[in-house]
A and B are shown apart, each in its own frame.
Chain A
Amino acid sequence: MNDMADKWIKVGPVAQFDNGTHKILVGRRFVVMTKLKGRLFAFDAFCPHVQGPMDRAEIEGAIVSCPLHAWRFDLENEGKELHGYRGIAVHDVRINDGDVFLALSS
């Protein structure tokens, strides 16, 4: 757990994120947490295009679509945008002793 003290930020108990989509503030960054295909994902709360609210994203599998212009991000592929536009930041998630920790990507 030493490395977790360096970059991992505790964001809450895992049960908190079992259902639905959650917009949380981590440090100075808003992040969306959601469980898709049995896996917990964390990604930026605002679309890199024009800051669309990703907590209201449409979801298909592990693809999240911005509700403004439907830029589509593949969370299983580092947040890559499916049309070739800018991707969204996806943050590493770890679960330890029933708590969720995030490592924010740059």
Chain B
Amino acid sequence: MASDQRPTYTTIYETVRGVGNLLAPEDFTYLTEIPQDAPPSQLVIHLSCMAHYTPHIPILAEKILRKLDLDCVIVGGPENCCGELHKHFNEHDLERQLAKSAMMGFRRAKPRKVLSICPDCDDVFRSHGSERQPYEHTNISNLFIEYLPALKPMMRPLNMRVVPHYHTISEYRQADADNMLAILRAIPGLQILEAHHALGPGVHCQTLHPMPAADQERMFSEARELGADALVVPYHSCYRQHCKMQLKHGVPVHHMFNLLAMSLEIPFTESFKEMRLLDDVDLAVKALKPRIERHGYDESVVRAQIARAIFC
């Protein structure tokens, strides 16, 4: 039953749905359920719950895959939650049921690989996977490494100096960090600065266990002193926590796909960042008001959701 003491599943998932709809481009589509008779798709991009707040990230992933002539389908919404939320609430039977139902759903596309954007999803799906699983579940950065030789000839020089932010708590996160570095090193003209305070805590930066403010301050101070044009992050959650630091330090935060897209001349807009840099919930609500009205949302409900999702 619902409790007043903590956010409920419903509160969290409704925020994902509501804010996700407000921040996504009008023409952005994804599947919440793959139809039983769906045509095969060699790749499934799993749009994790919280990645709905940063829609440009899955959109760029799809556009980069299209550039490689790879067919893919984006599957998302709370309907495909990996179960991490329930794991956090110690509802492990529900976590298992969620993970299994999502994985059964992916099978309908008969994919070669299911690609995670989120490291939590990576870990949860891995823990519930089986040897009989007919597809490989992997972080999307592994696929970009696989196709880096094909991407390189399409890249245009990027004259930027960047500090990579990373996580190394497990072999999987270390692999993601290595992949990000390899991708960045492949971009001509990009200068990777040597920083000493860019290591993030835990699996990823996030609202529940964020990078401590003092560490975050040190990371951005160093990036500014090094003359960085950007701090590059591997995960949507790091992007969400750190975006606001541009206001104080003047160093923009970019997801690694942003730089890849810039180099591949794929245009994009960052709706989350645009709202976050307004630095004011009321201004964000005002900016989103036409879309709030178009969707028929209750503004007071949406305001609380925006505060929770963007200004946490």
A1-41 vs B, CB cutoff 8 Å, 1 = contact: the mask equals: 00000000000000000000100000000000000000000
**B13 to A69, Cβ gap below 8 A?**
yes
**A70 to B1, Cβ gap below 8 A?**
no
Docked complex Cα distance between A67 and B77 (Å): 15
**Chain A residues in 8 Å Cβ range of B78:** 69-70
B80-102 vs A, CB cutoff 8 Å, 1 = contact: the mask equals: 01000010000100100110010
B229 at the interface (CB under 8 A from A): no
**B101 to A60, Cβ gap below 8 A?**
no
**A58 to B79, Cβ gap below 8 A?**
no
B14 at the interface (CB under 8 A from A): yes
**A21 to B1, Cβ gap below 8 A?**
yes
Tell me the residues in window 53-77 of chain A with beta carbons closer than 8 Å to chain B beta carbons.
Answer: 53, 56-60, 65, 67-70, 72
Docked complex Cα distance between A67 and B13 (Å): 10
**Chain A residues in 8 Å Cβ range of B12:** 70
B108 at the interface (CB under 8 A from A): no
**Chain B residues in 8 Å Cβ range of A83:** 17
Q: How many residues of B contact A (CB 8 A)?
A: 19
Contact partner, B97, options A21, A50, A58, A60, Cβ 8 Å: A50
Known: A52-B97, A59-B1. A67 touches B9 (CB 8 A): yes
Report the minimum CB–CB distance from A80 to chain B (whole Å).
Answer: 16
Docked complex Cα distance between A39 and B209 (Å): 42
Q: How many residues of A contact B (CB 8 A)?
A: 17
Report the minimum CB–CB distance from A19 to chain B (whole Å).
Answer: 12
**A68 to B1, Cβ gap below 8 A?**
no
**A58 to B10, Cβ gap below 8 A?**
yes
Docked complex Cα distance between A69 and B91 (Å): 13
Docked complex Cα distance between A69 and B94 (Å): 10
Contact partner, A69, options B1, B2, B8, B79, Cβ 8 Å: B79
Contact partner, A49, options B17, B79, B86, Cβ 8 Å: B79
Docked complex Cα distance between A83 and B295 (Å): 12
**A65 to B101, Cβ gap below 8 A?**
no
With both beta carbons as reference points, the residue of chain A lying nearest to B102 in the complex is identified as A50
With both beta carbons as reference points, the residue of chain A lying nearest to B101 in the complex is identified as A50
A-B contact pairs, 7 of them (CB 8 A): A21-B1, A58-B1, A58-B2, A67-B91, A68-B94, A68-B98, A69-B77
Q: Contacts A52-B94, A60-B2 known; list 7 others, CB within 8 Å.
A: A58-B2, A65-B8, A67-B9, A69-B81, A70-B9, A70-B14, A72-B10
- B binding-site residues for A, Cβ under 8 Å: 1-2, 8-10, 12-14, 17, 77-79, 81, 86, 91, 94, 97-98, 101
A-B pairs with lowest CB-CB distance, top 10: A70-B13, A50-B101, A58-B2, A65-B10, A70-B10, A69-B78, A58-B10, A69-B79, A58-B8, A70-B9
